[in-house]
């Protein structure tokens, strides 16, 4: 599982097996609960392009890890 932390948003992002973007909150003690991941609703986001950039960044990271193996 690849996690991408966005400090300014207070969340961490990852992808599911279908490359759908998921998020979970980062708590004040810098922990996350892996059971709290939920699908990002792009229609409710302020900056749709930023969310798509995050998703593409995670996909690129996943692909580069697959090439290393």
Chain position carrying tokens 């960044």: 57
Range of the domain at 49: 4-68
pLDDT in tens, 25-65: 999 999 999 999 999 998 888 889 999 999 999 999 998 88
Those residues whose C-beta lies under 8 Å from the C-beta of residue 16, and which sit 6 or more positions away, are 22, 39
69 has pLDDT over 60: no
The pLDDT of residue 68 is: 63
Total domains in the chain come to: 1
β-partners of residue 14 are: 22
pLDDT of residue 26: 95
Question: Which residues lie closer than 8 Å to 42 by C-beta, 6 or more apart?
Answer: 21, 48, 51, 52
Alpha helices in the chain (DSSP H): 48-68
**Average pLDDT in the 3-32 region?**
94
The pLDDT value given to residue 5: 93
Q: Would the pLDDT of 22 be above 90?
A: yes
């Amino acid at each position: 599982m690849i996690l991408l932390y966005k400090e300014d948003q207070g969340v961490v992002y990852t992808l599911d097996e279908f490359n759908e973007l998921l998020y979970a909150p980062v708590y004040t003690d810098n922990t996350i609960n892996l059971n709290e991941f939920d699908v990002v609703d792009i229609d409710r986001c302020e900056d749709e392009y930023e969310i798509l950039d995050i998703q593409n960044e995670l996909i690129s990271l996943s692909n580069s890890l697959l090439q290393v193996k």
